[in-house]
Amino acid sequence: METVLPAEGLLGWSWLLIALPLAGAAVLLLGGRRTDRWGHLLGTATVAGAFLLAVLCTVRLADVEGRSVDVDLFTFISTGELDVRAGLLYDPLSAVFALLITGVGSLIHVYSIGYMAHDPARRRFFAYLNLFVAAMLLLVLGNSFVALYVGWEGVGLASYLLIAFWYTRPSAATAAKKAFIMNRVGDVGLALAIFVMFAQLGTTSYAGVFGSVGTLAGGTLTAIGLLLLLGACGKSGQFPLQAWLPDAMEGPTPVSALIHAATMVTAGVYLIARSAPIYDETPTARTVVLAVGAVTLLIGAIAGCAFDDIKKVLAYSTVSQIGYMFLAVGLGPAGYVAGLAHLLTHGFFKAGLFLGAGSVMHAMDDSVDMRRFGGLARKLPVTFVTFGLGYLALIGFPFLSGFYTKDAIIEAALDRDDAWGWILGGVAVLGAGLTAFYMTRLMLMTFFGRARWEPGVHPHESPSVMTVPMVVLSLGSIGAGFLLVKAFPLADWLEPVFGEEHEAAHVVAPLTVGLVVTGVMLVGVLAAWLFVGRREVPVTAPVRVSPVTRAARNALYADTINESLVMRPGQWLTRALVWVDNRGVDGAVNGLAAGLGGSSSRLGRTQTGFVRTYALSMLGGAVLVAGALLAVTSG
């Protein structure tokens, strides 16, 4: 990549982006109860401030030559040949993410003020949320893989804390732990990738690594690519590490919206896009990315069809949508922009959807069982409208956000013009259909039909502090796609990062693609109406269902597989080792001691107390000594 200018002026202060929310978190955590009254306001303010700063920085960035600046801060670790400097890289890509994070972040902070109003630990919630924003910004702004790794694990911690926010619930605590552990599995991959880079190139900074990618052997590159992918899968809940994401819904809904829909889970996409120079050199790794994306896309979509928990459905939808993004970035230059565009739009409408779901739960006394919803459209008009818009955007209703970005991905896939291309394209289209199905099912079960509420539930619209962010986001779900793809093409903005957007020779005319996808989408909607809308929704899920449904309800047995392949053997191994350590290793030592004791008492018997025995031993000794000496000297 081209030379990076040192930052001056405003951009030199871009580290404040991270510092602000971090300071907020510190104040709230150390401040204790004193800060209870205004803590949430401070938390929101810091993030909003960061958003403003991000906007200003981005505007300034636009007229920096090369549209990319390096903010060098201080020496982090320097010993031997390793020299890691703490610094930021502010370029179009990180700028886009910074805007997304701070923007959506601010909205969700505002929303949380209302959503968490009655929680005694609201201050702690905002502290963690600020912590997350800071870590996430470090992740996307860092100028080296080490910095990225630090942010990477930082957001892992934040997500752990937030999922376990209601830690007295065992389920929440367990989900948090699960999330952290599965992330760590991915982190191992990321760490190893960094080690390889250092071993091969002696540096870990983006500039250094990408600058000398050419010097690396193909095998090494592939290894790096796959290791990075492992990391990405962990963080973005991609196959085979997708199982933690749905459980993460144990956290408060704003968390699900911000971390587990809009921002953190897309870090994997960021990582791969950021490492484009590496992936461009290794088709193998890139193919694997494609495969992962495609598989996850389907898994998520299928599982999404079967759940009755509104948040779980949205979670699996997230998994599936990120699958789309992976698929896109896996396509290489053709897909990076498409993937990122979808990432941004998804950030808007999925966040919106979650906030809507939160609002619904708020109305339904925190119930998440869609079988107990129904007919809420009239009771929660604002939620209904905003949620509806998000829904349309997600299923790719023409001319809404999802429509543009998803189509772009499918086009890019088909443009490969090979077997892979057709397969992936097909998968993507099928996914679109499934998406339409499960989202329509969700809409119908929640907002239409007869009210199946629990007795004593009186739905009411949420306060404006919650609805306003929803409205804003729904506007995003309408316009974002058009803006990013047509009006101000994201491609041009990101051009310094991914190079010229190459004019792909369309295998299939975009229009055709658009029609096909829309058609499939309508089929999905129709199917959903046939299955769910027409007939009465049973309050309890039917037991006697087809194997397919059962598989889907169990998320294709992901947990079962993890359990039987990892957890059980692990526990067994642990138990076995504990036994070995006590009986075997320690046993050997104690056994030795016991043996000495035993031989001691046995030898002691020779001390019979009879003079004549003693005399015998002496005589024997004497004879032995004399004999030995004679043998030595004469022999």
Compute the residue count for the chain.
635
At its nearest, how many Å lie between another protein and the CB of residue 275?
18
Q: In this structure, what DSSP letter does residue 566 have?
A: I
Least separation in angstroms between residue 157's CB and another protein is 6
CB of 69 to another protein, least distance (A): 23
Report the alpha-carbon distance of residue 434 to residue 442 in Å, rounded. Answer: 12
515 or 619, CB closer to another protein? 619
DSSP state of 462: P
431 in Cβ contact with 298 (< 8 Å) = yes
* Per-residue burial over 334-370, b = 16 or more CB atoms within 10 Å of its CB, e = otherwise: bbbbbbbbbbbbbbbbbbbbbbbbbbbbbbbeebbbb
CB of 240 to another protein, least distance (A): 15
Q: How far is the CB of 608 from another protein (least distance, A)?
A: 6
- Angle at Cα 183 formed by Cα 177 and Cα 189, nearest 5°? 145
Report the alpha-carbon distance of residue 119 to residue 167 in Å, rounded. 13
Give the shortest CB-373-to-another protein separation in angstroms: 29
d(CA 289, CA 105): 28
Q: By C-beta, is 419 or 632 nearer to another protein?
A: 632
Question: CB-wise, 158 or 532, nearer to another protein?
Answer: 158
Burial (CB count <10 Å: 0-12, 13-18, 19+), residue 611: exposed
CB closer to another protein, 195 vs 557 = 195
DSSP string, 279-347: HTT-HHHHHHHHHHHHHHHHHHHHHHHH--BHHHHHHHHHHHHHHHHHHHHHTTHHHHHHHHHHHHHHH
In the complex, the smallest distance separating the C-beta of residue 18 from another protein, rounded to whole angstroms, is 12
Q: How far is the CB of 101 from another protein (least distance, A)?
A: 18
Nearest distance, CB of residue 571 and another protein, angstroms: 8
Give the nearest distance from C-beta 46 to another protein in angstroms. 18
Taking the least distance from each CB to another protein, the nearer of 199 and 543 is 199
The answer to whether residues 132 and 155 touch, using CB atoms and an 8 Å cutoff, is: yes
Give the shortest CB-357-to-another protein separation in angstroms.
25
CA distance 369 to 312: 10
CA dihedral 104, 124, 88, 229 (to 10 degrees): -70
317: tokens are: 């939808």
The span from the CA of 287 to the CA of 416, in Å, is 12
Nearer to another protein, 169 or 378 (CB): 169
Residue type, 247: D
For residues 19 and 24, what is the distance between their CA atoms, to the nearest angstrom? 8
Q: Are 516 and 429 in contact (CB under 8 A)?
A: yes
Nearer to another protein, 419 or 611 (CB): 611
Nearer to another protein, 78 or 560 (CB): 78
| Nearest CB to another protein, comparing residues 41 and 615 | 615
Question: Phi, psi at residue 78, to the nearest 5°?
Answer: -140, 110
**Which is nearer to another protein, 170 or 456 (by Cβ)?**
170
Spatial separation of the C-alpha atoms in residues 3 and 332, rounded to whole Å: 23
Please say which residue, 178 or 372, places its beta carbon nearer to another protein: 178
